[in-house]
Structure 1
Amino acid sequence: MKIREVTEIALMTAVIIVLGLIPPIPLGFIPVPIVLQNLGVMIAGVVLGPKRGSISVGLFLLLALIGFPVLSGGQAGPVVFAGSTGGYLIGWLLTPALIGSTVSLKFMTHFWQKLLCTWIGAVLVVDVIGSLWLAVSTGMPLLSALVSNIVFIPGDTLKAVVACLVAQRVRVPGIKQI
C-alpha cells in the first residue's frame, strides 16, 4: 500500500470520527439514535472504493471496539457492539464493500444508478442487519424492529445523496469517479 492510500484511509477514518462529535438524536421508541457517522461510512464507500473504504471503516470500528470514544455520544468498547446498535455497526463494515463494488461497475454511468446502489448498500442492508441484531439483543419482535427503522429512511436517503454528490467532486486516484 502506498503512502497516499494510507493517508486517504486515515483521513476518511478521521472524517467518520469527526462526524461522531455531532451528538446523536435519541428517538425514545427504539434504543438506536440518529447519527451522522453513517454519512462518513457512505462517503468511504463511494470515494475510496471497496478495499480502502472497508479498511477505513474497519479501522474506525477497531478503535471503537478497543475503547476509544469515537462513536457518537462518546460511546466505545465491546459492550456497544453487543448492545442494540451492534448490528448497525456490523452493517457499516459491509457498506463500503457493497457500495464501492457496485458503483464502479462499467454500466453504472448515471448519478441515479450510483445513488440507488449507495442507498441499497448503506441504508437498506444496514437497516436490515441492524434490525435483526436489534430484535435479538432486545427481544423486540423482528417485524417491530424492521418497522421502527422506517424513521431512519428519509435522513439516510439524504445522506446517500450527499455522499454521491461528494464523490462527484472528490477525485481519488485509482477510483472511478461518479
Structure 2
Amino acid sequence: MTNQRTKMLTLAAMMTAIIIVLGFFPGIPLGFIPVPIVIQNLGILLTIELLGPKYSFISICLFLLLALFGLPILSGGRGGFAVFMGPTGGYILGWFLAPLVLGTILHILNRHQDLSWWLELIVVIVAGVLFIDTIGSIWLAIQSHMPMSAALLSNITFLPGDIIKAGLSVFLARRLRKLPHLQGLI
C-alpha cells in the first residue's frame, strides 16, 4: 500500500512539473478581454484524467501554491498573489476545484463501466472545460466590473481551443493508462 502511494505521489509531482513546463508557452492575448489563451489548462485536464480526484488535487494544489508564493510558473512567466486576484483568478480557482468535480465524476463513471472515448471527451468538456470557464467567467465579471452575459459570451472564444485540448488530454490519458508500468496505478 505504501509503495503504491509513493508511486502516485511521484506521478503527482511529475504532473506538476508538466503543468509548469506548459506554462513556458506564453499566453495569446485576445485584446477584448484581459484573459489570454493558454495551453496550461491541457496539463490540468490531463492531470485530473490520469491521477483521479485525490492525487490530481495534490498535484494541482502544489502547482498553485508554488505560483501563489511567487514562482513565475503560470503562463507567460507570471506568479504571485496579484495574479490570483486579477482577471484570470477565476480560472485558477476553477483549476483548483476541477479535480474535485471532474476527477470525481470520471472516477465514479470508470468504476461502473469502461468509458468510450466519446463519453470520456464529453465528460471532460462538460465537467472540466465548461466548469473551469464558468468559474472563470463569474470571477471575470466581478473583478472587471463586466456584465455576466458579456463575460460568459467572451468565453466562447476559448471553446474551440479548449475542446481541442480536452480531446488531446483524453487521447493522451487513454494511451498512457495502457502503459504496463502505469496499469493498476491510474
Q: Shorter chain as normaliser: what TM range?
A: over 0.9
Shift of 1:120: 1.1
Letter in 1 for 2:137: S
Please name the residue that 1:4 is paired with. Answer: 7
- Write the mapping of 1:4-153 to structure 2, written as runs, cut at 5 A: 4-104=7-107, 105=109, 106-107=112-113, 109-153=115-159
Q: Could you tell me how far 1:4 is from its partner in structure 2?
A: 1.0
Superposition deviation, residue 108 in structure 1: 5.2
In structure 1, what is the Cα distance between the partners aligned to 2:101 and 2:121? Answer: 13
**What's the CA shift string for 1:36-84, capped at 9, x where partnerless?**
0000000011111111111111110000001110001111111000110
Which amino acid counterpart does residue 13 of structure 1 have in structure 2?
T
Counterpart CA distance in 2 for 1:39 and 1:76 is 19
Q: Which amino acid aligns with 1:69?
A: P
1:174: which partner in 2? 185
Contact 1:86–1:133 (8 Å) recurs in 2: yes
2: distance between equivalents of 1:31 and 1:149? 11
Q: Whole-Å Cα distance in 2 between the matches of residues 22 and 133 of structure 1?
A: 24
- Equivalent pairs, count: 175
**What residue in structure 2 maps to residue 158 of structure 1?**
164
Partner Cα separation in structure 2 for residue 73 and residue 38 of structure 1: 13
The SS at the match of 1:74 is coil
Give percent identity, aligned residues only: 50
What's the CA shift for 1:96? 2.2
Runs of 4+ in 1 over 4 A off after TM superposition: none
Q: Is the 8 A contact 1:108 1:114 kept in 2?
A: no
Moved more, 102-111 or 115-124: 102-111
Q: CA RMSD in A?
A: 1.2
SS of 1:149's equivalent?
helix
State the TM-score, normalizing by the size of structure 2: 0.90
- For residues 22 and 30 of structure 1, the distance between their equivalents in structure 2, rounded to whole angstroms, comes to 19
Structure 1: distance between partners of 2:97 and 2:166: 15
Matched residue type, 2:30: L
Tell me the distance in 1 between the aligned counterparts of 2:123 and 2:97. Answer: 13
Closer/same/farther in 2, CA of residues 140 and 108 from structure 1, 3 Å limit: farther
Is the partner of 2:12 in helix, strand or coil?
helix
Amino acid at match of 2:38: V
